[in-house]
């Protein structure tokens, strides 16, 4: 794992010009993406954006129409066997045999990874412990709840201790509590040094969970980078909310408009929304101007623009 990482770190995932078409439909076009080791990487896009397609290419299920993808330095097309050893792919379906017991199921996949039978038992109980399914060892999978089946899927992915996890919407269909638990497990895994790519629609969670995200729309990459950077790149400039005493708003707007670097000033919800041209503009100048013109400044805060909003802004909600 990461403690013995090689001196020159190849990125966990590196794609160049990755393209995949289905007939005349381009599901993924010219994707250039780099995911570093140890990242918890969020992969965001609306329905049909091409998330599953990209993950399935990385998981060696699909061959790209053009372009290359490397997982931990191994090419997904020419070195697919090596790649399969390195990754754990959890698809957007369960893939469970309902009439198997939990341990049988995990034993089965452990054998697929050629884990020797001597260590199989221990490995299986370890992963079950990790995902919190220890009590369900002997249960039939068909009798597990949806959330438990999802955890079982996660356990299956972890059974061969892969370095890279590709999780396609692992939290879908979970109740809020189970979702938070799932996220906790993922953070724990990241702490253990795994690289995790997680695709999701649930943006608010990715915001606190992931350190880097990519936004993809109609098969094209729109943004890739740290979560904080999304706003800087996506929205034009910072936004501040100014609250002044009732009845003095019109006057305050006039004052603010006279400051430098102001792009737009408008009223919203009884507050004044001030959009700056760029993050270089000093917001203190605005508050200073308001105070010196004798207005009572009740509130002044930066707009906490969430991933959700950025997402809504960059994607127009159209699906392919």
Partner 1 sequence: MLEVVERELRVASRSRGIFASRAVAAGIPLAILLYYHLVMQSFYGRMSGSGLFNTLMYLALFAVSFGGLRSTSDSITSEKREGTLGLLFLTALSATDVIAGKFAAYGLRSFYSLIATLPMIALSLLLGGVTGGEFLCGSLLLLNTLFFSLALGLVCSTFFKRQNAALGVASALMMVLMLAGFLVQAALEWWQIRPPDVVVHLFSPLMAFAKISNSFMGADPQFFWIHVGFLQALGWLCLLLAKRGVRECWKEVVVANTFTRMNWLNWRSWPSLLVESSQSLAAYRNRALSHSPYYWRVTRSKILRMLPWSSVILAVLAICCGFVFDSGFVRQGGFAVFVLVILHLVFRVMLAASAAFVMVEDRLSGGLELALGTPLTVKRLLHGYYWGIWRNFGGPLATIILLELAIFSWVAFIEADLDKEMVRMMICFCLNLVVDCLAIVPLTLWKAIDLNKPQHAAGIAGLRILVVPGVLFVLLVSLAHPDGDSVAIIWVFINFFNALLNGGISDRKLRDHLRERVASRFTAKIPLV
Ligand X SMILES: Nc1ncnc2c1ncn2[C@@H]1O[C@H](COP(=O)(O)OP(=O)(O)OP(=O)(O)O)[C@@H](O)[C@H]1O
Q: Which residues bind ligand X (CB under 6 A)?
A: 22, 25, 27, 45, 47-53, 92, 320
Per DSSP bridges, beta strands 195-200 and 164-168 are: parallel
Rounded least distance, CB 320 to ligand X, Å: 4
d(Cα 245, Cα 259) in Å, to the nearest integer?
20
Choosing from 15, 29, 52, 163, the residue that interacts with Mg ion (CB under 5 A) is 52
CB 32 within 8 A of CB 15: yes
Choose among 241, 223, 255: nearest CA to 305: 241
Tell me which residue has tokens 């049909």: 48
Residue 139's binding partner out of partner 1, Mg ion, ligand X, none, with CB under 5 to 8 Å set by partner kind = partner 1
DSSP 12: S
Q: Which residue has the tokens 């954006």?
A: 49
Binding to Mg ion (CB under 5 A) within 115-144 occurs at: none
120/201 with CB nearer ligand X: 201
Min separation Cβ 319 and partner 1, Å: 16
Nearer to ligand X, 20 or 84 (CB): 20
Q: Decide if residue 53 touches Mg ion (CB under 5 A).
A: no
- The residue number with the shortest CB distance to Mg ion is 52
Token output for 13: 């995932």
If contact means CB under 5 to 8 A according to the sort of partner, which of ligand X, Mg ion, partner 1, none does residue 27 touch?
ligand X
Minimum CB distance to ligand X smaller for 58 or for 124:
58
Residue 207 binds which entry of partner 1, Mg ion, ligand X, none, CB below 5-8 Å type-dependent? none
- 7 by Cβ neighbours in 10 Å (0-12 / 13-18 / 19+) ranks as exposed
């Amino acid at each position: 794992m990461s403690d013995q990482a090689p001196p020159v770190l190849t990125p966990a995932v590196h794609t160049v010009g990755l393209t995949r078409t289905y007939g005349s439909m381009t599901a993924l076009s010219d994707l250039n993406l780099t995911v570093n080791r140890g990242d918890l990487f969020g992969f965001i896009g609306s329905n049909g954006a091409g998330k599953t397609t990209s993950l399935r290419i990385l998981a060696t299920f699909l061959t790209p129409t053009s372009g290359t993808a490397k997982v931990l330095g191994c090419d997904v097309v020419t070195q697919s066997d090596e790649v399969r050893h390195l990754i754990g792919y959890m698809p957007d379906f369960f893939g469970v045999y309902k009439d198997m017991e939990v341990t049988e199921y995990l034993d089965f996949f452990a054998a697929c990874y050629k884990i020797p039978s001597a260590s199989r038992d221990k490995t299986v109980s370890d992963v079950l412990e990790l995902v919190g399914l220890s009590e369900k060892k002997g249960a039939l999978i068909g009798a597990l709840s949806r959330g438990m089946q999802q955890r079982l899927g996660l356990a299956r992915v972890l059974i061969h201790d892969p370095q890279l996890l590709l999780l396609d919407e692992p939290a879908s269909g979970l109740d809020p509590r189970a979702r938070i638990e799932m996220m906790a497990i993922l953070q724990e895994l990241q702490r253990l040094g795994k690289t995790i790519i997680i695709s999701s629609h649930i943006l608010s969670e990715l915001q606190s969970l992931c350190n880097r995200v990519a936004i993809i729309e109609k098969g094209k990459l729109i943004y890739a980078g740290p979560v904080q950077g999304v706003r800087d790149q996506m929205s034009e400039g910072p936004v501040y909310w100014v609250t002044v005493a009732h009845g003095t708003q019109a006057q305050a707007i006039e004052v603010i408009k006279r400051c430098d670097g102001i792009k737009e000033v408008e009223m919203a919800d009884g507050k004044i929304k001030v959009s700056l041209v760029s993050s270089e503009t000093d917001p203190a100048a605005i508050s200073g101007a308001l105070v010196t013109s004798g207005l009572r400044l009740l509130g002044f805060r930066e707009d906490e623009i969430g991933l959700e909003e950025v997402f809504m802004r960059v994607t127009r909600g159209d699906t392919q």
